[in-house]
A and B are shown apart, each in its own frame.
Chain A
Amino acid sequence: MVKDSSEYMNDESVASGHSVEVNNLRVTYVSGSNTVTPFSDISFSVEKGEFICIIGPSGAGKSTLLFSIAGLVDPSAGQVRIGGQVVDGPGGDRAVVFQDDAVFPWFTVERNVGYGPEVARWPKARRQQAIEEALSLVGLSDYRSFLPGQLSGGMRKRVDVARAFAAGPQNVLMDEPFGGLDAQTKESLQEAILEIWRTTGKTIIFVTHDLEEAAFLADRVIVLKKGGGLEIVPIDLPRPRTSSMRTEPALQGYRRLLGEMIRKAEDRKNVQ
């Protein structure tokens, strides 16, 4: 790993160095009249400060996996541990950026960004500081008093990202956050998120269906297979990653590799 995040490590770090551990996880939920088990018995662990992308064919349970880490979905077997603690419900050590627009339209940008600190009842000065930092991370300091309805989709997504970071979690979970945005906005947000990650030292778990996005962002890519199982692909590209690297053969090679793995992950299911 090229990244040096040790200077951002704080005293909350656990002995194992693992931020997120997924052990023999299985999730079953009811959808209409069917019970769906997108995956069972999957395990992996994420290092503190790592950038992980999760990809996989649709129906492999990418979002379900992320939501079980978030504590929004209860596992039917196995468990998720964060900093050694078993997850049972949402917690302050994690924040989620959803695929759909989850910015509260009734609050200003500033109140949205300060939502985590507000409900956690941080002292005013600390709260304000967290808001200022998060706003400047996403470059929205001049829009603090705007209502979300007055912003573009890309800007609202920035508010969403800032809100997740302002809550002060060690882990940020992102569920195809840039899926609905146009290519240009998407690329600039990808670069912004890398910069935020670099400066804050957070652990990011990022679900996407965009293979180039996964290769561009991740330290390691987790490929979920349909019907269970996973493979992990380390992305051995230098950091910081810049816009010009997108077209380079190394990154495109990873993209092709991931594409083949997804196809295989799907095939396996078709044979069954």
Chain B
Amino acid sequence: MSSNRTRRSAGRDYTRRLLLQSGTVVFLLALWLWLSYGLQIDPIYVPGPDDLWTRFRQMSGQLPSALFYSLTIIIGGYVIGSGVGILVALIMAYSVMVRESIEPVINVLRPLPIFALIPLFLLWFGVGYGSQIGLVAFGCFVILVVSTSEAIKNVPRIYSNAARTLGAGRWQLFRTVVVPAIIPNLVGAMRVAAAQSFGLDVAAEFIGAQDGLGYLLINNSSYLNTDGIILIVIIYTILAVLLDRIVAASTSRLIKWADRTEH
């Protein structure tokens, strides 16, 4: 009886939310059309849908190679940065000594403005792929290491006590308690890093790329091609959502237990 009622009201909640959300989307779209066609605002400020479509057809020749270039930087930087980040995080999780000795470094990394390091990256890795991938990788690395070190500290002590009283040794404690306990945070950090890597890519391409979405963005910006800018922002957003979905889907099995299943 009562479960029936909760189900019905949950359904009503869902419909209500759906209505509110689609209402917002419709309102924003209508606002855009009204600004563009109704008020006839200059397309330099607010380009209309037809401007975007025209620009898309014009740029379609450049897009594949730009996409390829940017994705190389993003995926390359993300994989390297997250990989090294996870590795360092796991070593930190295993060894208290390592964790305590690199703690000061992590405390500095946390507030560090990564974009301020761009000149150094240019100096060390030169203009081009090296410093661009390096910047993305470093940004992802910081996110993973910082949030993992936090997660390790937050593993409830009761779990390690329980494992120890049941006879777990150090490696077993690491493998069966610490790693599973931090995986939800690790996955969360991987998704944050995935999202951040697009912003890092834009910044990276501002430092002397000859191809790529960020490069196109600068180009369109210098010619005041607002429609082109918006188009690239949309492309970045779609890519970011896709990468997030991929990371979420490929890690969902790992964090199934953390789903709050109601009983």
Residue ranges of A at the interface with B (Cβ–Cβ < 8 Å)? 70-72, 90-92, 94-96, 98, 100-102, 104-107, 115-116, 118-120, 147-152, 163-164, 167
Contact of B161 among A98, A118, A151, A163 (CB under 8 A): A98
The CA-CA distance from A126 to B181 in the complex, in Å, is 28
Task: Name the residue of chain B whose CB is nearest to the CB of A164.
Answer: B166
Q: With A98-B158, A102-B159 known to touch, is A115 a contact of B260 (CB < 8 Å)?
A: no
The CA-CA distance from A92 to B163 in the complex, in Å, is 11
CB neighbours of B169 from chain A (8 A): 119
CB neighbours of B180 from chain A (8 A): 104, 106-107
CB neighbours of B104 from chain A (8 A): none
CB neighbours of A119 from chain B (8 A): 163, 166-169, 172, 176
Tally B residues with Cβ within 8 Å of A: 24
Q: With A98-B158, A147-B261 known to touch, is A116 a contact of B177 (CB < 8 Å)?
A: no
Residue ranges of B at the interface with A (Cβ–Cβ < 8 Å)? 158-159, 161-169, 172, 176-177, 180-181, 183, 256-261, 263
Q: With A104-B159, A104-B180 known to touch, is A116 a contact of B263 (CB < 8 Å)?
A: no
CB neighbours of A149 from chain B (8 A): 257-261, 263
Chain B binding site: helix, strand, loop or mixed by DSSP? helix
The CA-CA distance from A101 to B157 in the complex, in Å, is 11
Q: How far is the CB of A215 from chain B (nearest CB, A)?
A: 27
Q: With A72-B161, A96-B161, A98-B162 known to touch, is A105 a contact of B167 (CB < 8 Å)?
A: no
Q: Are B162 and A106 in contact (CB under 8 A)?
A: no
Residue from A91, A94, A105 whose CB has the most chain B CB atoms within 10 Å: A105
Q: How far is the CB of A44 from chain B (nearest CB, A)?
A: 21
CB neighbours of B164 from chain A (8 A): 72, 90
Chain A binding site: helix, strand, loop or mixed by DSSP? loop
CB neighbours of A71 from chain B (8 A): 165
Contact of B263 among A105, A106, A120, A151 (CB under 8 A): A151
Contact of B162 among A92, A96, A152 (CB under 8 A): A96
Task: Name the residue of chain B whose CB is nearest to the CB of A105.
Answer: B257
Contact of B166 among A101, A151, A167 (CB under 8 A): A167
Q: How far is the CB of A156 from chain B (nearest CB, A)?
A: 10
Q: How far is the CB of A208 from chain B (nearest CB, A)?
A: 18
Q: Are B165 and A90 in contact (CB under 8 A)?
A: yes
The CA-CA distance from A148 to B257 in the complex, in Å, is 8
